[in-house]
Chains A and B, each alone.
Chain A
Amino acid sequence: MKLFFRSVIMLLITITSNGYACSSSSTPLLKLNVPASLTKEQATQQLDQWLLSLSAKHATNTSKPEPTLELINCYLTEKSVSSPKLSTVAPALDNIASLIVNAQTVEQRDSAIISLNRTVNRDAGSGFVQFPNGADSTIEIDLYQDFVNSICTDSSSSACSEAFSLAAHLWWFAAYYRSIPDFYNDENIISSLAFNDRLNKKWLSYKNDTILLWPQEVLLNSLVFKQQERGFTKPPSYKLLSLRPSIGLSYLSDQSHHIQPTLNIDLLGIYWWKYGGDNGVTAQSGKGLATTLIWDGSDTAFGLTYHHNPKWSATIAHGKDNDLVLSISFQLAHWLL
Chain B
Amino acid sequence: MSKFTLFLVHGIGVHRNASWADETATLLEQAWQQDVSISGKSKHFNDFFQIEPITYDEVFEDYLDDFSDLGTAVFTDLLDLNKAEKQQLSETLIQHDIIDRHFLWSYIVDVILYKMPLVREQINALVAKQLYQKISQGSTSDNFGVIAHSLGTRVINDTLQRIRTEQADQSNFYQQGYKLKFLIQISDVTDLFGLPLNKDKHPPKNVFPRGTFDYFRTISNRFDPIARMIPTRLDHWPEGRNAEHYMGREIYKDILVEHVHETNVHGLTHYMLHPEVTDEIFDLCGFGRYLSARETRKAAFPAVGPHVEPGLRNALTSLLSDAVALADNSWQTYVNLVIRFGEFSSAQNQPTTAKKTAKKQDHLA
Q: Which residues from chain A sit less than 8 Å from chain B, CB to CB?
A: 48-49, 51-57, 106, 110, 113-114, 116-118, 121-130, 140, 142, 175-176, 178-182, 185, 187-189, 191-193, 195-197, 199-200, 203-204, 206-208, 212-215, 218-219, 221-222, 225, 227, 229-233, 235, 245-247, 331-333, 336-337
Contact = CB atoms under 8 A, between A and B. Distances in A.
A132 to B, nearest CB: 14
27 contacts: A53-B1, A55-B1, A113-B168, A117-B174, A121-B179, A178-B139, A179-B139, A180-B140, A182-B139, A185-B136, A185-B176, A185-B177, A192-B136, A193-B133, A196-B128, A196-B171, A203-B122, A207-B66, A218-B63, A222-B116, A222-B117, A225-B117, A227-B121, A231-B162, A232-B121, A233-B121, A245-B74
A212 B126 contact: no
B122 A235 contact: yes
B40 A49 contact: yes
A233 B121 CA distance: 7
Interface string B236-250: 000000000011110
B169 A188 contact: yes
B287 interface: yes
Given A337-B69, A337-B73, A126 B247 contact: yes
Interface string B163-193: 0011111111111111101000000000000
Interface residues of B, number: 69
A178 B122 contact: no
B140 A182 contact: yes
B168 A110 contact: yes
Contacts of A191: 169-170
Nearest to A221: B118
A235 B121 CA distance: 8
Given A52-B1, A54-B4, A123-B247, A192 B67 contact: no
A218 B177 CA distance: 38
Contact of B142 (A54, A142, A215): A54
Q: Which 4 A-B pairs have the closest CB atoms?
A: A124-B286, A181-B177, A126-B248, A57-B139
B116 A219 contact: yes
B284 interface: yes
Contacts of B69: 212, 333, 337
A114 B142 CA distance: 16
A54 B143 contact: yes
Contacts of A204: 122
Nearest to B284: A125
A113 B177 contact: yes
Contacts of A336: 73
A178 B140 contact: yes
B2 A55 contact: yes
Contacts of A218: 63, 113, 116, 118-119
Contact of B62 (A193, A207, A235, A245): A207
A142 B248 contact: yes
A113 B284 CA distance: 24
Contacts of B295: none
Contacts of A233: 121
Contacts of A125: 249, 283-289
Contact of A113 (B138, B175, B181, B202): B175
Contacts of A185: 136, 140, 176-177
A221 B248 CA distance: 48
Contacts of A53: 1
Contacts of B176: 113, 181, 185, 188-189, 192
Contacts of B3: 54
B94 interface: no
A333 B117 contact: no
Given A233-B121, A333-B72, 13 more contacts: A54-B1, A54-B142, A55-B141, A57-B139, A121-B247, A125-B284, A140-B248, A185-B136, A193-B136, A207-B62, A207-B66, A214-B67, A231-B166
A240 to B, nearest CB: 11
Nearest to A175: B141
A331 to B, nearest CB: 8
A187 B285 CA distance: 30
Contacts of B288: 125-126
Contact of A54 (B66, B72, B249, B286): B286
Contacts of B211: 118
B129 A200 contact: yes
Interface in B246-293: 246-249, 283-289
B70 A333 contact: yes
A39 to B, nearest CB: 16
B307 to A, nearest CB: 34
Given A142-B248, A191-B170, A193-B136, A55 B142 contact: yes
Contacts of B169: 187-188, 191-192, 195
A184 to B, nearest CB: 9
B238 to A, nearest CB: 14
A185 B170 CA distance: 12
A196 B73 contact: no
A105 to B, nearest CB: 12
B73 A127 contact: no
A126 B168 CA distance: 30
Interface string B63-88: 10011011011100000000000000
B116 to A, nearest CB: 4
A142 B167 CA distance: 34
Q: Which of B133, B175, B249, B284 has the most C-beta atoms of chain A within 10 angstroms of its own C-beta? A: B175
Q: Which of B1, B73, B142, B285 has the most C-beta atoms of chain A within 10 angstroms of its own C-beta? A: B73
Contacts of B133: 193, 196
B247 A176 contact: no
Q: Which of A123, A142, A179 has the most C-beta atoms of chain B within 10 angstroms of its own C-beta? A: A123
A337 B171 contact: no
Contacts of A57: 2, 138-139, 141-142
